Chain A
Amino acid sequence: MSSIKEKFNQISPSEFFYRNRDLAGFSNPTRSLYTAVREFVENSLDACDQKGIFPDVHLSIKAVDPDAPDPKPYILTVKDNGPGIESKHVPLAFGTVLYGSKFGLKQARGMFGLGATMAILYGQITTNKPVYVKSSTDGKIQDEFELLLDIQKNKPVILKHNTKEVTKRGLSVSICLEGDYAKADSKIKDYVYETSLITPYATITFDDPKGEKFHYSKIVNEMPPAPTIIRPHAHGIDVETIRRMMVESQFEIPNIDDMMIEKVRKDLGLTKKNLTFAGIMDKATKRWKTLSRPVRVVISLMSFLAMDFDKLSKIRIDDIDVPNKKLYYWDFGDSQAKSIDLDSENPYYKQLTGTVQGETLTAFLTKRFQRIGPSTAVKFAEFAGFKPEKRMGSLTNEELVKLSDSLQKFEDFLSPDPSCLAPLGEEPLEKGMKKFFKPDFCAVVQRPASAYSGFPFVVEMGIAYGGEIRPGGPHVYRYANRIPLLYDEGSDVVLKVVNDTDWGRYKVKGDPPFVLVSHICSTRIPYKTVGKENVADRQEIERELRLGLQFLSRKLAAYMSKRGQAEMAKKRANLYAKYLPLISQFCTELSGKTKEPNYKKLLEEEITIDDK
């Protein structure tokens, strides 16, 4: 088995990814073209989002030889008005795999660079053409690169590099790749259309190979706030995650070697002098506030051992047994294991036990989780049956499980901080939907943030009815982190929730002109498959979707019954207009009159009643 590992080690990341390109969505010319478009467009949008720039993205696909049959080479260019990439980073960013900004706990469309590099790699393999990158970070100077990727060495090869004066900031990437536009056509158009719906603050233009231009202008003039990196939420975190976090919260007893002793001396300002034990302690008390944790621990140990530096250098700390209040050490001087009792009255006792057993429960909660303050932490400790000052390091396995369970069950935690998420917001979503679908009715909702397995998520939904919407609905537009999900809708959690809904209850019948938009934002979307096109039915997400949909459905039902009443009134007015003249005609002859009765009053009266 070890040979497999060796093999992995022998190939470069570039080669590894090339061999596994199916996973990244480069399985055939159709899918590859579509995936490449996505990767570049999403990179551009992400870059603009992070800098608070209204994105203006221009996508163009041109066939190298328009008359050749598909699949054939295409030139794909994506140009944006984003921050650009500094000249020195360009070759690495576009010419190596696994180079990119670090991915923390915040929402982004994808990991920067990886997918785009895959697209470049795919293009180079299929057409043997370099990638052209033009980047300007200041809107004055633009760096232009022509790059190839050395797959074996995972290194960029710069074929050309020159600079040019420009007037606009931004990045433009152009690759040549084999694709099948005839087949990818509708998906790419859908992708551009749906992307512009969920990014109403962006302008997106697409020039297709047939010379058609699709232009979606910016609809709203506000950017959603950029996401920030944050701590996890207490709900839905598991035992393993707590264990990992605890390790970080504990501190090792420093190894007392000559270097450590030197450091302590230096920090106490005793490099030259050799003080007695009492003198050292005195000095330490004075300087305590300026001392680092390891130095404090060493001082604490010295105070219990009542040793000066000389003696300290001749022992090795073996164990600190907090429950029995004993300190074990090995004395090199007489080669013996020794122990002393720890006096809990000693002012340094707390320092020592704190180091060994980690933070208190309340400190652990307030420092390492989001949205937990001291009073909530104390309340939680009471709820879970722990002392607030319980040291994390002293928890048994059973207690850990109990803690993890209680964290999930405790209901007084504030909902997760959505600041790491970037939902679109109700207003832009509504504006976007109104502009796109021109409906008679539109309602949107942003659910409060929730969490699954410690990952926060926010569900946004919108519903639109009537107007220019085509019948045959509900037409469902699914988004995750502002990316349209176009494939595999059958097994998606959103579809499941929509299909479970009895629309008749909400007065939606027949073949309704009806659109539903769902947007799930999370630091990690639980995709069902590697293709990242459908969201798994995690219970917490399903619940939020359901609540959101119910809220919107009730609004729709209210609208529908109003609409029904209006339609009914219109119908009635039509009936009166149709039948009253007939009745009038018949009764005139029947009663032997010549002039028709003045029935028009009735028609007018009826209409005014209906207007109310």
Chain B
Amino acid sequence: MTTNKIKDRKQKTKVKQQNIIDALKDHGAKVYGDLDNGQFPKFSIPSRSVSNIVYDKKLRQYILGNSAAVRSSRNSSQLRSFTQLMWLAFFANRLTQEKKSSTLRDVYYSSQAFAIEFEDQSESDNIIVDLEAVLSKPREDFHIFPEERSSIFGDLNIEYTIPGYEGKKMNLSNHPDGYAIGPSLTTAELLDTSAEIVIAIEKGGLFTRFVEEQVDKKFKSIIINTGGQAPRSTRTLLKRLHDELGLPVIILTDGDVYGEHIAMVIKSGSANAAHLRELTVPDAKWVGVWATDIEKFKLPTIPMTESDIKRCHDLQNDPRYQEGIWKKELDVFLKIKRKAELEAFSKYGLTNITDKYLPQKLELAKSL
């Protein structure tokens, strides 16, 4: 990888940060101007109600429609949440300027330093999503990161950008437990890698197995543990690995309807984040465990529960499950009404999954 490219990417990151700061400043200036002119300031916030969430086939994700709600400081029932939103913009500006990171919970407590009350954390969480919608940017962009930590392992060189570590480099294959995907990693520069693929896996146990079995070396891969539903920082990192380093992404989950949907969210996002466009990896591929694999690999199974079956029916109404393997596998799950976990392969030996199953699936992925 040339130094130029790296420089270019560093420049891009900087621009992105500046864009956020500029956007926040614009909003601040508008509110300032309104107040100074004797006008009650207001925000237009894209509506996140179910009726305004539509599936965009071209983008292959859910997006918000055109309807928006006005939050005015004149309206006494909106004044409080207007002030909260204003405070959050102010707070996000400080975080971004000072390159400090915060979490949802942390924001909730930080508010109290500024005489801003939130009833509970869910109220402050909502305001954070409001700001995401106003800016059309994920909260990670203004330095609010999730609590959940998933992990990454593989031959990947990064360079930190957070204060105190700027310029410090790191290779992510030096520690066998993997590296937690936190704010510093999400914002780090991705320098170079020898890997040719990213394998996202749903479970920590299998992640450890993959490291032990040197899947990173054997298959030239970066292994990521999503820890169930992938946190947004992990999805952001997956997107960056795909977009910036040009690595294909494959996903391995349990063989059930929830696993299938974990893969779908990485690929095309969730309705909850319909106001954001930078969290999806549309080219990511779900390679297993499929419903059809259960029969094919003679995996030990457990019966589906009532809620599993209900979830299947719900997803049948989702526009993304209307074709291809997504539809086919869902139908088979419903037909056999049984599910299998990733650990099920251990019936045939601890390394069965890495020795037998994974190579087959990697091969198959090329044709998907």
Contact = CB atoms under 8 A, between A and B. Distances in A.
Contacts of A605: 38
A579 B79 contact: yes
Contacts of B29: 587, 590-592
A582 interface: yes
A586 B76 contact: no
A602 B83 contact: no
Contact of B35 (A571, A575, A580, A592): A580
Interface string B25-56: 10111011101101011000000000000000
B36 A571 contact: no
Interface stretch (A95-103, A162-170, A593-601): A593-601
Contacts of B76: 571-572, 575-576
Contact of A597 (B25, B35, B114): B35
B73 interface: yes
Contacts of B90: 586-587, 589-590
Given A575-B80, A582-B86, A587 B25 contact: no
Nearest to B76: A572
B38 A582 contact: no
B62 to A, nearest CB: 30
Contact of A587 (B38, B80, B86): B86
A598 B116 contact: no
Interface of A is mostly: helix
Contact of A582 (B41, B89, B114): B114
A214 B32 CA distance: 63
B38 A602 contact: yes
Among A590, A591, A602, max chain B CB count under 10 A is at A590
A588 B32 CA distance: 6
A580 B31 CA distance: 11
Nearest to A593: B32
A588 B41 CA distance: 13
A584 interface: yes
Contact of B27 (A576, A584, A590): A590
Given A583-B35, A583-B86, A591 B25 contact: yes
A598 B38 CA distance: 8
| Interface band, chain A | 20 to 34
B186 interface: no
B23 to A, nearest CB: 11
Nearest to A601: B38
B32 A597 contact: yes
Interface string B317-344: 0000000000000000000000000000
B114 A576 contact: no
A602 B86 contact: no
B82 interface: yes
A495 B28 CA distance: 61
Nearest to B93: A590
Given A572-B76, A576-B79, A579-B83, A586 B28 contact: yes
Nearest to B29: A591
A588 B115 CA distance: 17
A579 B36 CA distance: 15
A588 B89 CA distance: 12
A593 to B, nearest CB: 6
B79 A592 contact: no
B94 to A, nearest CB: 8
B87 interface: yes
Contact of A583 (B24, B25, B31): B31
A598 B36 contact: yes
A591 B32 CA distance: 7
Interface in A62-107: none
B35 A587 contact: yes
Contacts of B28: 586-592
B35 A599 contact: yes
Nearest to A592: B25
A279 B91 CA distance: 128
A411 B40 CA distance: 63
11 contacts: A575-B80, A579-B73, A579-B83, A583-B41, A587-B32, A590-B90, A592-B29, A597-B35, A601-B38, A602-B35, A602-B40
What 4 A-B pairs have minimum CB-CB distances, sorted nearest first? A590-B28, A591-B28, A586-B90, A597-B36
Interface of A: 571-572, 575-576, 579-580, 582-584, 586-593, 597-599, 601-602, 605
